[in-house]
Structure 1
Amino acid sequence: MTALAGPMLPIMGGKVVLTALREEDVDRVVEACSTEQAERFLEVPVPYGRTDAEEFVRGFVPAGWRGEHDERVWAIRESLRGPLAGVIGLRTDEGEVGFWLHPSAQGKGLMADALRTLVGHAEGCLTWPEVIWSCFDGNLGSMRVAKAAGFTYLGTREGTQRGEPVTQHFAVRVAGGAPAGARPWPRLD
């Protein structure tokens, strides 16, 4: 196992362990980020190739942990030495969380656990008063995860993805209460 620059200690959840990314995670990143779902809902290069994954694992992620930009990314695993199930990251400038799962890890409740675990870390260790989440319209899986992790829905706003207009959904998790402007979650079935 070749660990790269990242968190010094794992963060233990109920179903997941959040760790540093490893060199051997590159293939799993390619598999996850080159799916039709990833191309539609993530801000990744299209088409997504091995060079993109290598830059993410070897360049972008370690640079964040060295303080060269504002995003800290953890690997999501089902066990300390297990394969990469996905990633979850905190953008410190915006107080925002982002995540994705490898297709083989979906449907197991791993991401909701990872999100609750990392938000608890942000609230307890980083003392963030709130964590923001957003997704592109149609990403019902991400919306279900945010709702299951205790986020409060705030609504939609218009944005762009790859130069095209899109609708984004927003929610927030506030330490110690519900935020002003809370709205009911839309139907997620």
Structure 2
Amino acid sequence: MSEQLAGGRMSEQLAGPTLPVLGKRVVLTALRESDIERTAEACTTPDAERFLDTPWPYKRSDAEFFIREFAPSGWRGEHDERVWAIRESVSGPLCGVIGLREGLREVGFWLHPDAQGKGLMSDALRTLVGHAEGCLVWPEVRWRCRVGNTASMRVAKATGFSYLGIREGEWRNVERGPEHYAVKTNREVPEALPWPPLE
């Protein structure tokens, strides 16, 4: 998920989804000022360096920009990515982030380390893909991850994405490398391949 946006100004209010999107285990809401610290914690781990398409080295100022400017400006229509906070309750702490990029019809996500291993991301992805299909009228939702990110692959497989193999992808806008690709759609996917072993 990209956090880069040229220009823009700090918004007085954090624009975001008006109503929460309810899953079975998670609630998807707007990001809040109070989420900055946990965003910075999540995006400075070794796994974040390896697998997230975010600035590196990641600084607290990157988290401030993401929450105060990038995410709200997407909801104002200034770019094509809409971002939701993942929580276990409406007033609960940030567990992670999930976003839809309209131009690419692509989903991206991450979880804070202390929220991992609970099945939250599978529920968040299943919930948001349903939201995309029902509300945004997308014919399909695409997913990708860097080779080696088996946790993300497990989530995509568990939520019914069809695996399309490995392709060369752009990384942090400067580097290219191999990525896994998959798609979620209501149609048959004749080009789908078996998912690789995820142990």
| TM-score of the pair, normalised by structure 1 | 0.96
Q: 1:1-189 to 2 correspondence within 5 Å?
A: 4-162=14-172, 163-175=174-186, 177-189=187-199
Structure 1 stretches of at least 4 aligned residues deviating more than 3 Å after TM superposition: 162-165
Contact persistence 1:3–1:21 (CA under 8 A):
no
Structure 2 distance, partners of 1:97, 1:186, is 20
Aligned-partner Cα distance in 1 for 2:117–2:13: 27
Secondary structure of residue in 2 paired with 1:21:
coil
Distance (whole Å) between structure 2 residues aligned to residue 164 and residue 125 of structure 1: 34
Q: Deviations over 1:139-186 (max 9, x none)?
A: 0000000000110001111124243441100000002x3312010000
**Shift of residue 25 of structure 1?**
0.1
Return the alpha-carbon distance in structure 2 between the equivalents of residues 6 and 94 of structure 1: 20
Identity of aligned residues (%): 66
Judged with a 3 Å threshold, the aligned counterparts in structure 2 of structure 1 residues 103 and 3 are, in CA distance, closer, same or farther, namely: farther
Q: Give unmatched runs, 5+ long, in structure 1.
A: none
Structure 2 CA distance, aligned partners of 1:47 and 1:154? 31
Could you say what secondary structure the match of 1:125 adopts?
Answer: helix
Deviation at 1:124, TM superposition (A): 0.8
**TM-score, normalised with respect to structure 2:** 0.91
Q: Secondary structure at the match of 1:14?
A: coil
Q: How far does residue 4 in structure 1 lie from its aligned partner after superposition?
A: 1.7
Find the aligned partners of 2:107 and 2:27 in 1 and give their Cα distance: 17
Equivalent position SS for 2:132: helix
Which residue in 1 is equivalent to 2:6?
none
CA–CA distance in structure 2, aligned partners of residues 104 and 38 of structure 1: 14
SS in structure 1 of the partner of residue 31 of structure 2? coil
The residue number in structure 1 matching 2:7 is none
What is the letter of the counterpart of residue 55 of structure 1? Answer: F
Q: Which runs of 5+ in 2 are unaligned?
A: 1-11
